[in-house]
């Protein structure tokens, strides 16, 4: 496995998945704009060697394509889902080490975050620079159970941050700490190996350590080292770690910030104070662009694999599920044998999952990972007068501006607004299957030509 960010960068370059930009660019708008352009035009990861005002290079769009996550797992892309599901079953505890490269440089006085780290200002109306790839680590103040996740974090001052801590388990940890009038100790890890970074956003049952999930996916323990100024263990091979505490009962305006849904949001959010920064010698800063491909790869793959099992337990006729746009669009492939099967899916999925706003159900002859095939099914199989289902007053997410109701604060949970949802039945009527038969070529011919074409694909 790739043991750290820099070895993964080397691996991407060897695989032809990385480009280097040598022109000097500013961390304010220019690097974020370039990441977005590279993502749309080439799809590759990108390393900015010269960052205006800093000696620290910036790397972006690391996992912007599924094939790069497959590379991180050391498997072919077509085996990605199967490998994830298999390795997810095995948890490997992290390994404590005495020393880690992340503590080669320690800054414990005169903390100036914006001078030490090239934190990016991503969008025109953002309130300032934001950490978007930082994995926030904390412990339950009652049980000591560790939790982590990626949360948007605004740099508000030399040592002060505003943090959008609106989802469990960390939101629950903060509530418990505040009930005791105590600060919540945190550590922000930036520049992780790709498997630990990916694991920080996977769904995990309460009490499960995501470092154990990362160990299972990597097939080896993740190395952790004791933090310098807080009672936490941090990834030993991260590029940066910021240590500090969230102050109890303090809320300040955070934002606006351009969120994953493509819109600006501001909230009254907790405030954190940093007292120590550690980093490797010659560190690399990892940038994650909101509203871009890397977010979809990070979230959609793990969520669709984990949620597919739950959906299939309730609805065995579902064969595959594919999530798009951070899970707001769910595509489901079903082996339908009753005209009521699709309505049953809508009744189960739309009210129970706050993230899913649109569900599209297709037959097994439609490739749900191919947008063109899904569009074809919608265009030719949907009879709008009877195949569209609208359900009202269902739970939604507060970073969707079309939702209503609920107090738009980050004190308890992200899932506090209400919305209407849409179900689209793009399946063939059972009594008209012959009429809707999809054109095709013989399976033996497909297998032969696929083998031939793959040789030229590898040469390219």
| Per-position pLDDT tens, the chain of length 460 | 899 999 999 999 999 999 999 999 999 999 999 999 999 999 999 999 999 999 999 999 999 999 999 999 999 998 998 899 899 989 999 999 999 999 999 999 999 999 999 999 999 999 999 999 999 999 999 999 999 999 999 999 999 999 998 888 999 999 999 999 999 999 999 999 999 999 999 888 888 999 999 999 999 999 999 999 999 999 999 999 999 999 999 999 999 999 988 889 999 999 999 999 999 999 999 999 998 888 888 877 777 777 888 888 899 999 999 988 878 899 999 999 999 999 999 999 999 888 899 999 999 999 998 999 999 999 999 999 999 999 999 988 888 888 887 654 444 445 568 999 999 999 999 999 999 999 889 999 988 998 888 888 654 3
Q: What are the structural domain ranges in the chain?
A: 5-291, 315-446
> How many whole angstroms separate alpha carbon 167 and alpha carbon 173?
10
Q: Dihedral of CA 69/73/74/79: which sign?
A: negative
> How many whole angstroms separate alpha carbon 97 and alpha carbon 236?
8
CATH number of 315-446: 3.40.1670.10
Output the pLDDT for position 269. Answer: 93
Q: What is the CA radius of gyration of the chain?
A: 23
Output the pLDDT for position 457. Answer: 63
Beta bridge mates, 154: 130, 162
> How many whole angstroms separate alpha carbon 288 and alpha carbon 63?
9
- The 10 Å CB-count burial string (b at 16+, else e) for 24-57 is ebbbbebbbbbbbebbeeeebbbbbeebeebebb
∠ CA(110), CA(112), CA(115), 5° rounding? 130
Output the pLDDT for position 307. Answer: 81
∠ CA(14), CA(20), CA(23), 5° rounding? 165
Residues 6+ away with beta carbon under 8 Å from 23 = 50
Q: Are 61 and 45 in contact (CB under 8 A)?
A: yes
Q: What are phi and psi of 119, to 5 degrees?
A: -65, 135
Output the pLDDT for position 57. Answer: 98
Q: Which two tokens stand for residue 80?
A: 């990605």
Q: Dihedral of CA 332/338/342/348: which sign?
A: negative
Query: CB atoms < 10 A from the CB of 443, how many?
Result: 8
At 218, which helix (H) or strand (E)? helix 210-218
Q: Are 38 and 44 in contact (CB under 8 A)?
A: yes
> How many whole angstroms separate alpha carbon 301 and alpha carbon 44?
18
Q: Are 217 and 195 in contact (CB under 8 A)?
A: yes
Q: What are phi and psi of 380, to 5 degrees?
A: -110, -10
Beta bridge mates, 391: 421
Is the pTM higher than 0.75? The answer reads yes
SS3 at position 263: coil
Of the CATH numbers 1.10.3720.10, 2.30.110.10, 1.10.10.10, 3.90.870.10, which one belongs to the domain with range 5-291?
2.30.110.10
Q: Which of these, 198, 202, 60, lies nearest to 119 by C-alpha position?
A: 60
Residues 6+ away with beta carbon under 8 Å from 90 = 216
> How many whole angstroms separate alpha carbon 357 and alpha carbon 420?
8
* The residue count for the chain: 460
What's the half-sphere exposure (Cβ side, CA atoms, 13 Å) at 446?
4
């Amino acid at each position: 496995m790739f043991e750290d960010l820099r070895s993964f960068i080397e691996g991407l370059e060897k695989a032809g998945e990385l480009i280097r930009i040598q022109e000097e660019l500013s961390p304010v708008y220019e690097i974020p704009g370039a990441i977005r352009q590279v993502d749309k035009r080439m799809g590759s990861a990108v390393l900015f060697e010269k960052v205006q005002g800093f000696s620290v290079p910036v790397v972006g769009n690391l996992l912007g394509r599924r094939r790069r996550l497959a590379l991180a797992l050391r498997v072919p892309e077509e085996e990605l889902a199967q490998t994830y599901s298999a390795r997810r079953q095995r948890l490997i505890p992290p390994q404590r080490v005495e020393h880690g490269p992340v503590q080669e440089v320690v800054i414990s006085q005169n903390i100036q975050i914006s001078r030490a780290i090239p934190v990016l200002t991503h969008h025109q109306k953002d309130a300032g620079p934001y950490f978007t790839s930082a994995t926030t680590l904390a412990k339950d103040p009652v049980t000591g159970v560790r939790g982590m996740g990626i949360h948007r974090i605004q740099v508000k001052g030399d040592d002060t941050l505003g943090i959008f801590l609106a989802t469990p388990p960390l939101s629950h940890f903060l509530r418990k700490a505040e009930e005791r009038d105590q600060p919540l100790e945190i550590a922000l890890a930036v520049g992780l190996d790709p498997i630990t970074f990916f694991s920080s956003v996977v769904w995990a049952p309460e009490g499960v350590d995501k470092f154990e999930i990362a160990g299972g996916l990597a097939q080896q323990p993740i190395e952790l080292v004791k933090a310098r100024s807080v009672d936490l263990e941090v990834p030993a091979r991260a590029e940066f770690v910021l240590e500090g505490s969230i102050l109890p009962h303090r809320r300040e305006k955070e934002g606006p910030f351009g969120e994953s849904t493509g819109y600006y949001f501001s909230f009254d959010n907790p405030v954190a104070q940093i007292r120590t920064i550690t980093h490797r010698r010659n560190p690399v800063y990892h940038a994650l662009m909101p509203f871009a491909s890397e977010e979809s790869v990070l979230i959609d793959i793990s969520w669709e694999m984990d949620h597919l099992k739950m959906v299939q337990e309730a609805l065995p006729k579902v064969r595959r599920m594919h999530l798009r746009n951070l899970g707001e669009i769910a595509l489901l492939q079903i082996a339908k044998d009753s005209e009521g099967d699709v309505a049953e899916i809508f009744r189960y999925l739309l009210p129970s999952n706050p993230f899913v706003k649109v569900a599209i159900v297709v037959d097994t002859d439609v490739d749900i990972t191919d947008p063109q095939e899904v569009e074809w099914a919608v265009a030719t199989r949907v009879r709008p007068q009877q195949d569209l289902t609208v359900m009202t007053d269902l739970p939604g997410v507060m970073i969707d501006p079309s939702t209503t109701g609920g107090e738009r604060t980050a004190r308890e949970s992200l899932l506090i607004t209400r919305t209407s949802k849409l179900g689209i039945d793009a399946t063939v009527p059972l009594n008209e299957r012959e009429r809707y038969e999809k054109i095709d070529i013989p399976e033996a011919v497909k297998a032969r030509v696929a083998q031939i074409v793959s040789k030229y694909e590898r040469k390219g």
